[in-house]
């Protein structure tokens, strides 16, 4: 671990903080890739806060391990900056530029204050290592923020792609489009059961016309949903059994003998109407 007595950087940051801030802010304002997304005043405040926290951290004697408690405030600020930039459409390199751009004003100040080439080289190397680590930290925080957004969007799309529709009094339909995996099965099951409770429906139709393929795992997920619906007191039909899917089910030896299946949603709907004691008659023109 480096100590404050072995490096001139802590003293330099304390003595020339205002000058460094002015030079850095001016440089960032000139090279800001998203001027419409980041106001000059906001950028100035971010620079000021970063320099303040950086000065505090290095004065505590640790300039090599930014994962320690001394750097917690700096890590928190950079995470916040990275999240904000990811939300505004910045790229990872544009986000990391916030830290990397501080090298130039810091190196210029080191060259002005240090005359010994060997000492200057050591200090520049130490500053480079430190700022590179902090810059990579912003990239990691940026990536984490983007992954959180993507995961949230996937959850929202999953919920939107499994709507439970009320076809008739006492009859629900759940059209499924796309692959049915374990995570989606949980969403499907929760949506269907919640709707059964809300409407008091007697019949639920799960339509798999939009499911491209049915394998053993998909069939197991369907059976779990059917069983859960039955436990809630609702009959559950499966519609959309196309010829190729029927052949696949037979080939895989999947047992659907206890489940009512129909080729089309219309066929399943007609059967559901009978189950609830409703008939439809064509009116005379």
pLDDT at residue 249, rounded to an integer: 83
What is the distance, to the nearest Å, from the Cα of residue 122 to the centroid of all Cα atoms in its chain? 41
Confidence category of residue 2, pLDDT binned at 50, 70, 90: very low
- Give residue-wise pLDDT tens across range 76-88: 999 999 999 888 8
Q: How far apart are the first and last CA of the chain?
A: 92
What CATH number does domain 165-275 carry, 3.40.50.10860, 3.10.129.10, 3.30.750.24, 3.30.413.10? Answer: 3.30.750.24
Output the pLDDT for position 262. 92
The pLDDT tens digits of the residues spanning 105-161 come to 999 999 999 989 999 999 999 999 999 999 999 999 999 988 888 887 776 666 556
- Using one digit for the tens of pLDDT, what is the confidence trace for 36-82? 567 778 888 999 999 999 999 999 888 889 999 999 999 999 999 99
CA 211 – CA 209 distance, rounded (Å): 6
User: pLDDT band for position 3 (50/70/90)?
Assistant: very low
Stretch 267-284: mean pLDDT, rounded?
88
Sequence ranges of the domains in the chain: 4-153, 165-275
- The overall average pLDDT reported for the chain is 87
Residue 271 has pLDDT above 50, yes or no: yes
> Distance (Å, rounded) from C-alpha 138 to C-alpha 99?
8
Q: How confident is the model at residue 34 (pLDDT cuts 50, 70, 90)?
A: low
User: In the prediction, which pLDDT does 161 show?
Assistant: 60
Ordered strands of the 203-210 beta sheet: 165-168, 171-177, 203-210, 235-239, 260-262
CA atoms within 13 A on the CB side of 248: 14
Query: Does domain 4-153 correspond to CATH entry 1.10.490.70?
Result: yes
Residue appearing with tokens 């912003």? 138
Decide which of 276 and 29 is more confident.
Answer: 276
Q: What is the pLDDT of residue 36?
A: 58
Does the pLDDT of residue 166 top 50, yes or no? yes
Summarised one tens digit per residue, pLDDT across range 191-246 is: 899 999 999 999 999 999 988 888 888 888 888 889 999 999 999 999 998 888 88
**Distance in angstroms (rounded) separating the CA atoms of residues 209 and 78:** 48
Q: What percent of the chain has pLDDT above 70?
A: 92
Q: What is the mean pLDDT of residues 238-264?
A: 87
Q: What is the pLDDT of residue 237?
A: 94
pLDDT of residue 14: 92
216: its two tokens: 């053993």
Amino acid 68: pLDDT: 93
Question: CB-side exposure of 187: number of CA atoms within 13 Å?
Answer: 17
């Amino acid at each position: 671990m480096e100590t404050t007595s072995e490096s001139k950087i802590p003293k330099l940051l304390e003595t020339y903080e205002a000058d460094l801030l002015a030079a850095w802010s001016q440089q960032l304002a000139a090279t800001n890739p998203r001027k419409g997304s980041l106001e000059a005043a906001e950028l100035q405040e971010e620079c000021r806060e970063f320099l303040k926290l950086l000065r505090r951290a290095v004065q505590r004697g640790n300039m090599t391990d930014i994962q320690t408690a001394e750097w917690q405030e700096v890590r928190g600020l950079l995470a916040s900056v990275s999240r904000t930039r990811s939300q505004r459409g910045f790229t990872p390199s544009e986000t990391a530029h916030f830290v990397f751009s501080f090298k130039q004003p810091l190196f210029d100040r080191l060259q002005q204050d240090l005359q010994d080439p060997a000492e200057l080289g050591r200090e520049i190397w130490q500053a480079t290592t430190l700022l590179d680590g902090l810059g990579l930290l912003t990239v990691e925080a940026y990536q984490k923020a983007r992954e959180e957004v993507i995961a949230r969007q996937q959850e929202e799309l999953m919920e939107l792609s499994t709507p439970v529709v009320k076809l008739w009094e006492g009859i629900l339909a759940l059209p499924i489009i796309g692959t049915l995996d374990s995570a989606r099965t949980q969403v499907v099951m929760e949506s269907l059961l919640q709707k059964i409770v809300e409407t008091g429906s007697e019949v639920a139709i799960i339509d798999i016309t939009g499911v491209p393929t049915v394998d053993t795992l998909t069939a197991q997920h369907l059976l779990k949903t059917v069983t859960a619906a039955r436990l809630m007191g609702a009959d559950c039909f499966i519609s959309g059994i196309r010829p190729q899917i029927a052949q696949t089910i037979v080939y895989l030896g999947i047992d659907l003998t206890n489940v009512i299946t129909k080729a089309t949603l219309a066929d399943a709907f007609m059967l559901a109407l009978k189950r609830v004691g409703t008939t439809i008659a064509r009116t005379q023109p």
